[in-house]
Amino acid sequence: MSVKADQAQEGHMQVPQAHCEGSYPLGVKVATIRGHYRQGKLPAERANTLASLTGWTWENDRSRRRSREQVQLDLV
């Protein structure tokens, strides 16, 4: 199972890190890709391909949730 195939099947890429497709550790793969992107280690061509996938984000659900919580705290 590839990242692109899973995105096509699920329609999003909010994959829990522990998620596996059969024996393939998809969640670990997605987390690793995002980590390489943040560290500037992901080739531009690969980053552009992933960014073009519907539902792909460079943040995971937890990161977005923390961002929303911080905004809410800032408003208080």
pLDDT at 49: 92
Residue found by looking up tokens 């992933």 in the block: 50
pLDDT at 53: 84
Per-residue pLDDT of the chain (76 residues; tens, 9 = 90+): 455 555 445 555 778 888 888 898 988 998 999 999 999 999 999 999 988 887 888 887 665 555 555 555 565 5
Structure tokens at 72: 């809410």
Q: Where are the domains of the chain?
A: 3-75
pLDDT at 46: 93
pLDDT at 47: 95
